[in-house]
């Protein structure tokens, strides 16, 4: 057979190895599809298949890398463009698909370069397809060209772990599939290397030896995976869980740094999706909304539904300070210890449990009114600066459409008199985070002072109220969803909005930014919050929140009463409060941040406002109900039991098969074959040129305390093979006893041999 043809028809690693590489890569592709980064993602698996095929075939050629890489790039471009085009534009011909993809790609780059969120998804698909092609091609090429099985395994494994860490979707099954294929591939290539070594040393092995090694390796692989699965369910895996959870912060940083680039990702399971309510926003000059339903809220009154807060003014928008991310279990208190944001006066709020039902996929954002105390679903809490402050709430599970969650909150009922008498004894965490005036121009501060002096406001509450009234009622300001931006990108947005005749027009982000900047210039701790303004009442105690309710507003902090909303946007009515009576003294803070005070905190669910259609999200449960059993843990336990049963059955089957193999051998042959098989497992197989006695003498040196038994079995073998006489029953019994005394020593010899090989780093 010609060498080029033989190389393709009978490659060194064999086509079984290619099948295992394909399974590994498909496990990665299916995990990406399951993660659901965006809709129309079915092109990933075909690209992965073509990449493996191209990598294997080009790896078997004698082409240099200078030829292979451009050829791979051309094939990959064709594969990605063809599959993505067919997925997104099935009704168009191939040329039209290419033109549309080109146009959407250019639009995406233009919008992202200008700082916007591009709605086109095909550029993400092209990028994902290119990454999948490169991974699949290099995995196969590394194996078939360079025979580097470890490189192939690690390349796909790193990509799989990266995908798992960047999504909330359950992908453990794909990791198991990948692990099985990877370990089998490693075993297969190791066996090929050992067979090559045998041929080099002219060692003639029996046909059953490779099969025995494969069967033993398969048993070891499945046993290892079962053990790893067990360890993930017990306390010993807690440190690894902690390390895995720390990746949440990594992806949060990626999302924050590249928010514009990931702004169009719409998958609800993604940790890095650039949703509208992200870790930062830049005022874009245009506010887009629709009448689509977002959520249904059951509550006593229509509330502002907050999800993210911002503390850093950037001159053209707002962002949250880098901080820490903390997991909160369903039903646990969000802040079990001290936080300055907790209202302290029992007369200034009421406890209420609000129900939210998701009507449209809105990512992982959790929306809540007031001060949230307990959520009945797993949460991820963002804490700016690592301080005990609430920066943002995200769900720890997928928020499927039609499902919902309940959250217990403290709704402020503080009167104007209470807030006016709150004083300025601000906690250190508040002043360090929410009083910065960086970027605020001097004439903005002067205008704020003029406004409060004209209103005669002397306390923080009436000063904040005066600022909000000024922005909402002054005729110089006009509300519009399409507004101008400074022609000079370095010019301060608030200054432009307040003073430039061409700039006194805008929407909620303009008004909220101006309100916060002016309030901070007066020494009032202020933050900007985003979420939804109060929805429309559709039934008693039920409110429909729509996309058009998306909103940004300013909140001012009052010691003892927490954050209070001040509405400055012209299109929305002002927040009204009861006037109250008399002079209310400031609320004394709890001494030393004692988490046990006030004693009414976190114990009362208040009024539970429910929906008849309420169905909790996975991992959540109804307020006041019992925590549900961990179905995933029960399911894992069932699978583990099944795996262990299968392993036990496999071991029993192997033992019975071994017994059956030796049952029909002649007595002398039977014990000798058992001894030789056990010695081979210890790595001391008989050489072709060795006689039975030579081999037995060598074994006696390894087990000097069992010289007699080894010699007896060798005598039995020679007698059986060369005497021409049958063996007496007495000799048969003696051989059986000799083998019985040798079983444990031979097992111990095998364990010692394997351990020494492992410590020396021997390779098969």
660's enclosing H/E stretch is helix 631-663
Token pair of 411, please? 């709704």
Instruction: Give me the pLDDT at residue 631, please.
Output: 46
652's enclosing H/E stretch is helix 631-663
Whether the model pTM is above 0.85: no
Q: Which residues constitute the domain of residue 45? A: 3-200
Instruction: Give me the pLDDT at residue 260, please.
Output: 53
Q: CA distances (Å), 658 to each of 32, 204, 217, 325, 526, in order? A: 43, 22, 17, 56, 78
554 and 676: one domain? Answer: no
CB-count exposure of residue 569 (10 Å: 0-12, 13-18, 19+) = buried
Strands 317-319 and 280-282 come out as antiparallel
Domain boundary (135, 167, 200) is at 200
39 and 185: one domain? Answer: yes
In the chain, the percentage of residues whose pLDDT exceeds 70 is 77
Residue 300 lies in a domain: no
What is the dihedral angle through the alpha carbons of 212, 215, 217, 218, rounded to the nearest 10 degrees? 170
Strands 550-558 and 562-566 come out as antiparallel
- According to DSSP, residue 104 is labeled H
Cβ-Cβ contacts under 8 Å for 433 (sequence gap 6 or more): 311, 321, 384, 385, 387, 389, 525
The count of other CB atoms within 10 Å of the CB of residue 517 is 28
Task: Using the structure block, give the residue that is written with the tokens 């059993």.
Answer: 629
608's enclosing H/E stretch is strand 607-608
Count how many domains the chain has: 3
Instruction: Give me the pLDDT at residue 495, please.
Output: 95
Residue 638 lies in a domain: no
- The pLDDT of 494-514, averaged and rounded, is 93
Instruction: Give me the pLDDT at residue 407, please.
Output: 95
- The pLDDT of 491-499, averaged and rounded, is 94
CB-count exposure of residue 15 (10 Å: 0-12, 13-18, 19+) = exposed
Residue 637 lies in a domain: no
Least confident of 504-508, 576-580, 732-736: 732-736
Residue 354 lies in a domain: no
Residue 286 lies in a domain: no
Tell which wins on pLDDT, 750 or 486: 486
Least confident of 211-225, 401-415, 419-433, 526-540: 211-225
CA–CA dist 356, 613 (Å, integer): 11
The count of other CB atoms within 10 Å of the CB of residue 583 is 8
Domain boundary (166, 200, 234) is at 200
Instruction: Give me the pLDDT at residue 496, please.
Output: 95
In the chain, the percentage of residues whose pLDDT exceeds 90 is 35
CA–CA dist 417, 422 (Å, integer): 9
Q: CA distances (Å), 659 to each of 238, 652, 674, in order? A: 43, 11, 10
Tell which wins on pLDDT, 435 or 729: 435
Instruction: Give me the pLDDT at residue 591, please.
Output: 43
Instruction: Give me the pLDDT at residue 602, please.
Output: 46
Least confident of 82-91, 114-123, 227-236, 323-332: 227-236
Buried-exposed string 526-556: b where 16+ CB fall within 10 A, e elsewhere? bbbbbbbbbbeeeeeebbbbbbbbbbbbbbb
Instruction: Give me the pLDDT at residue 169, please.
Output: 72
The count of other CB atoms within 10 Å of the CB of residue 714 is 23
DSSP string, 421-487: TS-S---HHHHHHH---TT--HHHHHHHHHHHHHHT--SHHHHHHHHHHHHHH-TT-EE-SB----S
The count of other CB atoms within 10 Å of the CB of residue 1 is 8
> pLDDT tens digit string along 297-309?
999 999 999 999 9
Quick check: 637 pLDDT over 70? Answer: no
Instruction: Give me the pLDDT at residue 237, please.
Output: 46
Residue 274 lies in a domain: no
Quick check: 428 pLDDT over 50? Answer: yes
CA–CA dist 328, 162 (Å, integer): 23
CATH number of the domain that residue 450 is part of: 3.10.620
584 and 728: one domain? Answer: no
Tell which wins on pLDDT, 144 or 466: 466
Grade residue 452 by pLDDT with cuts at 50, 70 and 90: very high
Question: ∠ CA 319-325-330 to the nearest 5 degrees?
Answer: 120
Instruction: Give me the pLDDT at residue 525, please.
Output: 96
Quick check: 720 pLDDT over 70? Answer: yes
Token pair of 577, please? 């409060």
Residue 351 lies in a domain: no
Grade residue 696 by pLDDT with cuts at 50, 70 and 90: confident
Instruction: Give me the pLDDT at residue 266, please.
Output: 52
596 and 669: one domain? Answer: no
679 and 538: one domain? Answer: no
589 and 672: one domain? Answer: no
600 and 481: one domain? Answer: yes
Give yes or no for a contact between 29 and 132, defined as CB atoms under 8 angstroms apart: yes
Quick check: 663 pLDDT over 70? Answer: no
Instruction: Give me the pLDDT at residue 447, please.
Output: 96
> pLDDT tens digit string along 326-382?
889 998 999 988 899 999 888 899 999 999 999 887 777 899 999 999 999 999 899
| Radius of gyration for the alpha carbons in the chain, expressed in angstroms and rounded | 36
Grade residue 594 by pLDDT with cuts at 50, 70 and 90: very low
Instruction: Give me the pLDDT at residue 559, please.
Output: 93
471 and 565: one domain? Answer: yes
592 and 708: one domain? Answer: no
Least confident of 20-24, 290-294, 474-478, 534-538: 290-294
What is the dihedral angle through the alpha carbons of 618, 622, 626, 630, rounded to the nearest 10 degrees? 0
685 and 599: one domain? Answer: no
Residue 596 lies in a domain: yes
Q: Half-sphere exposure of residue 137, counting CA atoms within 13 Å on the CB side?
A: 23
601 and 675: one domain? Answer: no
Domain boundary (200, 223, 245) is at 200
Grade residue 287 by pLDDT with cuts at 50, 70 and 90: confident
CA–CA dist 149, 155 (Å, integer): 10
pLDDT, averaged across the chain: 80
Quick check: 414 pLDDT over 80? Answer: yes
449 and 598: one domain? Answer: yes
Instruction: Give me the pLDDT at residue 115, please.
Output: 53
């Amino acid at each position: 057979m010609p060498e080029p043809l033989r190389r393709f028809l009978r490659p060194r690693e064999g086509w079984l190895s290619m099948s295992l590489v394909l399974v590994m890569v498909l496990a990665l592709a299916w995990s990406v599809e399951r993660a659901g980064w965006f809709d129309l993602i079915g092109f990933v698996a075909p690209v992965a298949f073509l990449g493996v095929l191209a990598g294997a075939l080009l790896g078997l050629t004698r082409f240099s890398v200078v030829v292979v890489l451009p050829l791979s790039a051309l094939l990959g471009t064709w594969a990605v463009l063809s599959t993505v085009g067919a997925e997104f534009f099935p009704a168009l011909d191939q040329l039209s698909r290419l033109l549309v993809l080109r146009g959407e790609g250019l639009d995406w780059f233009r919008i992202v370069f200008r700082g916007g969120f591009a709605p086109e998804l095909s550029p993400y698909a092209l990028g994902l397809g290119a990454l999948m092609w490169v991974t699949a091609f290099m995995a196969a090429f590394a194996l078939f060209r360079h025979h580097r099985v470890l490189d192939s395994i690690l390349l796909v494994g790193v990509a799989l772990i990266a995908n798992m860490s960047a999504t909330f979707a359950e992908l453990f099954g794909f990791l198991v599939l990948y692990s099985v294929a990877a370990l089998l591939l490693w075993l297969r290539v190791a066996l090929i290397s050992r067979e090559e070594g045998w041929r080099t040393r002219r060692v003639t092995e029996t046909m059953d030896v490779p099969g025995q090694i494969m069967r033993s390796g398969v048993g070891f692989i499945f046993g290892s995976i079962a053990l790893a699965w067990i360890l993930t369910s017990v306390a010993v895996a807690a440190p690894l869980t902690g390390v895995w959870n720390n990746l949440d912060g990594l992806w949060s940083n990626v999302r924050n740094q590249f928010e514009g680039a990931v702004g169009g990702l719409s998958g609800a399971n993604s940790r890095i999706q650039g949703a509208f309510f992200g870790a930062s926003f830049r005022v874009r000059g245009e506010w887009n909304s629709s009448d689509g339903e977002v959520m249904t809220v059951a509550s006593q009154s229509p509330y502002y539904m907050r999800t993210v807060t911002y503390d850093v003014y950037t001159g053209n928008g707002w962002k949250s300070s880098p901080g820490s991310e903390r997991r909160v279990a369903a039903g646990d208190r969000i802040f079990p210890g001290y936080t300055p944001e907790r209202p302290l006066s029992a007369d200034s709020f009421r406890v209420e449990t609000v129900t939210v039902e998701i009507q449209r996929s809105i990512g992982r954002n959790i929306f809540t009114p007031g001060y949230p105390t307990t959520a009945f679903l797993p949460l991820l809490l963002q804490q700016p600066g690592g301080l005990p402050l609430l920066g943002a709430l995200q769900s720890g599970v997928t928020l499927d459409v039609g499902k919902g969650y309940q959250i217990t909150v403290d709704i402020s009922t503080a009167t104007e008199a209470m807030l006016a008498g709150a004083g300025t004894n601000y906690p250190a965490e508040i002043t360090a985070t929410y009083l910065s005036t960086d970027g605020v121009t001097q004439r903005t501060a002067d205008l704020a002072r003029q406004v409060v002096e004209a209103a005669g406001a002397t306390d923080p509450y009436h000063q904040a109220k005066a600022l909000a009234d000024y922005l909402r009622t002054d005729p110089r300001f006009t509300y519009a969803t399409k507004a101008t931006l400074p022609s000079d990108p370095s010019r301060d947005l608030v200054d432009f909005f307040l003073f430039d005749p061409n700039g006194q027009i805008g929407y909620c982000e303009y008004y909220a930014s101006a309100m916060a900047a002016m309030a901070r210039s007066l020494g009032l701790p202020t933050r900007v919050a985003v979420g939804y303004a109060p929805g429309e009442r559709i039934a008693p105690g039920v409110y429909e929140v729509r996309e058009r309710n998306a909103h940004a507003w300013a909140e001012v902090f009052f010691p003892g009463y927490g954050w209070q909303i001040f509405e400055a946007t012209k299109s929305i009515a002002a927040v009204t409060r009861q006037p109250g009576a008399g002079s209310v003294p400031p609320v004394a803070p709890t001494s030393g941040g004692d988490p046990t005070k006030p004693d009414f905190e976190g114990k009362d669910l208040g009024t539970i406002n429910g929906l008849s259609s309420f169905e909790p999200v996975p991992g959540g449960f109804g307020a006041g109900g019992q925590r549900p059993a961990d179905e995933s843990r029960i399911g894992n336990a069932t699978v583990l039991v099944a795996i262990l049963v299968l392993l036990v059955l496999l071991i029993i089957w192997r033992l019975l098969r071994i017994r059956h193999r030796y049952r029909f051998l002649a007595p002398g042959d039977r014990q000798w074959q058992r001894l030789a098989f056990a010695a081979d497992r210890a790595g001391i197989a008989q050489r072709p040129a060795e006689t039975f006695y030579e081999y037995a003498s060598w074994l006696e040196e390894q087990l000097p305390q069992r010289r007699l038994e080894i010699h007896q079995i060798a005598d039995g073998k020679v007698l059986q093979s060369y005497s021409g006489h049958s063996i007496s029953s007495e000799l048969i019994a003696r051989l059986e006893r000799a083998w019985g005394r040798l079983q444990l020593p031979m097992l111990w010899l095998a364990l010692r041999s394997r351990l020494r090989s492992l410590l020396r780093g021997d390779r098969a």
